Each structure stands twice: as C-alpha cells, then as structure tokens.
Amino acid sequence: MLRAQKVRLYPNRHMVKVLDSLCDYRRYCWNQGLATWNDMYDLHTIEHSSLRPSAYSVRNELVAAKADWQYGLSARTLQLAIADLGKSWQNFFDKSLPDWGKPRFKSKRAPRQGFKTDRAKIINGKLRLDRPRDVKVWYDIRINRHVDLTGVLKVVSIYRENGQYWASLPFEVAVEAKPKTGKSSAVDVNVGHLNYTAGVVNTLPTRLQRLYQRIKFYQKRLARKRVVNGKQATKSNNYQATRAKLQRDYRKVTNIQHDIMQKFTTQLVTDYDRIVIEDLSVKKMQMTHVASKGLQRSMFGYFRQTLSYKCEWYGKVLILADKHYPSTQRCSKCGYIKSGNDKITLQGNIAHKTKHHEYVCYHCGATLERNENAVTNLLALI
C-alpha cells in the first residue's frame, strides 16, 4: 500500500532558489505542453491528420525543442508534468468525474506552486533531490519533524504555499490487516456531528467555532481595507500581517479537522469489520446553498475518502448505501417511508410541528431520535 506523509521543509537560501525555479519550471512545462497539445489536437481534428496528440508525442516535441537553460534543471520535472497533463486529458473525456473539464493553463499568481520528482531520496532524515548535471552546489533539505520514513519512496510532490515549503512523501509499505471483531456499524453524517452505533462524534467543537469567528473577523478587516484603498491595500505591511494571521488560523482549522477524522476512522476500522455509510453527492448538496457552509466544514468528502483507503488497508468491508436510500425518512420499527409533506427536513416538519431531531412515524406511532433511526436503517443493509 502507498502511505503518504505530509511534512514541512526547511531549505537553506540556496535550495530555496532551487525549489522556486523548479516550481516555475513545472508551470512552464505544463503550459508549453498544453499549448502543444491543443495545436496537435486541432490539427488532428481539422485536417484528419494521423498525428494524434498523446503524452508521448507532446513530451518528444518539448524535449526536441529544449533550450540551454533547461538543462540546468531536473529532467524529471518535465517528464512528470507531461504525464500529469496526459491524465488530465483522459479525464476530460470522462464526464462522470466531479471536476470534469478541459485542462487549463497554470498561473504564476496561483497561491500554490509545486512540482514532482520520482528520484528523491531520504538521506539521514533529510530530503535529497536529484541534482542536474553541471550543478556542483547542492544541499539536502531538512524535514520539520521525526516521521516514519521507512518503505520505498515513490513520486514526491513538493509545493510552496504562503512562503512555506511542503512535501508529500508516499512510501510503499506492507500493511497488516487488523484482527476481526465480528461487529458491524453504520455512520450517519450530519452537519456538525457524525452518528454511529456506539455514539456521536462532534466535528465542530468549540475550538473550531472560535477559530471560524476569528477567520470571519480577519476576512472583514481585509475586505474593508480593499474597499477603502483599492489595489494599493495589498501592498501595506498591515494588510500582509492580517493576511498572515488569517492563513495561520486556516491551517489550524485544517489540522484540527484532519485530526478528528483520522482518529475517528481509525477507531471504526479497529472496532468493526463491516461499516455502512451513505453515498452522498456532496458537491451537488453544496450547490443548493442550503447549509452549504456547514456541509463544507463537516468534511463529508474527506471522511469518506479516509475511511475508504483505511478499510482497504486493514481488510475491512465498506458498504455504500444507495443515494436514494431513505435512511432518514424510513421508520426503523415498521418500515414506513415518509413522502410529500410528511418528510423531515433540516428544520423538521412544519406541517406536523416536529423538530429537526425528531422522527414521528405516522403509521405505527413510534417516536424516535432522527439520527439513531437513520443509523438503524443503514445497519439493515448489512
């Protein structure tokens, strides 16, 4: 299995220039490759030419037209950039993907810039990149903390964001399956909390809510400065200091959210052999603008992604309920399914004056807790 670890890099002044130049070179290769690909695609479509664009043909064109300055940079940057471009073009012809669309040119104004290499090594706890020919001065890059660096290192992704450098280190490791428990569980995702068989996990604790209040405050201050001073506002030291505080709080929010999800998913695959979750269209739900901010902060997509690969790692079974399965509208006692004006919404049911956390069955008269009822219905799929 591939297990990736995100670490922060602390390069010296010389390696900072090297990393910046590789980030720029990756963007240059992508844009040149995309322009070449578009030209070859138009030629193939209009003139019915036998020259059909592919990652192999585009790479050959760029390698043949290499300038002298390019030989002072890693050749793997160009190779991997064109390989990723080829995957983007394959995704363009698959409209079922959520981010379907034609590949776009990279901008130097994007907040995140990065590159990839498959020839990096870990030497004495430091990251060593492949040194191009005719380059004599080269240094290893210090990593922020002691992490498990065992295994075979694969394609490393390095990126720069907000003046800091990060690396994703994927190691190919052997993962042992967790012991079988013979238990099953279901998870009902909600805005602010996740309900499962053994209890509730709060995904929006008090510390997160305080951070979101500070984020809102900093965003208002930055917006007010832009309204008053226009484009000149971004050049002031006060603006940059406030922006740094905003970015710091966003990083704290991400770390807290990921910590909650990682611990909860590990607990699930440790305690249960079969887990049932809902197959939700998260992006479509966010497009409705009904509790879209709460959906984004609850990290439904990240929860499913993390649970999926951990179940595969440790030999557990993940069951996805159908998108149209009425886990919330179905009575777990008699099987009655609400419809029409009887349905439960995020505000409850206005016609019957029930609250959002109540489930009242109009067939058998049972009064249930909404989330516990949904968990029981999901468990019935096992």
Helix (H, G, I), strand (E, B), or coil: what is residue 76? Answer: helix
Kindly report the three-state secondary structure assignment for every residue of 90-125: HHHCCCCCCCCCCCCCCCCCCCEEEEEECCCEEECC
Strand partners, 113: 160
pLDDT given for residue 282 in this prediction = 67
Alpha helix (H) ranges present in 47-183?
55-64, 75-92
Of the candidates 299, 357, 303, the one whose C-alpha atom is nearest the C-alpha of residue 328 is 357
CB 127 within 8 A of CB 5: no
The span from the CA of 329 to the CA of 342, in Å, is 9
Whether residue 343 has pLDDT greater than 70: yes
pLDDT given for residue 286 in this prediction = 63
Alpha helix (H) ranges present in 137-281?
206-229, 237-271
User: What number is the average pLDDT over the span 212-216?
Assistant: 95
| Global pTM exceeds 0.75 | yes
The span from the CA of 71 to the CA of 257, in Å, is 43
CB 301 within 8 A of CB 343: no
Cβ within 8 Å of residue 182, ≥6 positions away: 273
Whether residue 213 has pLDDT greater than 90: yes
- For the stretch 125-137, pLDDT in tens is 899 999 988 888 9
The span from the CA of 178 to the CA of 306, in Å, is 16
> How many CB atoms lie under 10 A from the CB of residue 56?
11
Q: Which pair of tokens denotes residue 50? A: 């036998």
How would residue 174 be classed by pLDDT, with cut points 50, 70 and 90?
confident
- For the stretch 97-141, pLDDT in tens is 666 788 999 999 898 999 999 999 999 889 999 998 888 899 999
How would residue 280 be classed by pLDDT, with cut points 50, 70 and 90?
confident
CB 347 within 8 A of CB 356: yes
User: What number is the average pLDDT over the span 320-327?
Assistant: 86
Average pLDDT, the chain: 88
User: Rounded to the nearest 10 degrees, how much is the dihedral formed by the CA atoms of 237, 238, 243, 244?
Assistant: 70
Of the candidates 345, 316, 336, the one whose C-alpha atom is nearest the C-alpha of residue 377 is 336
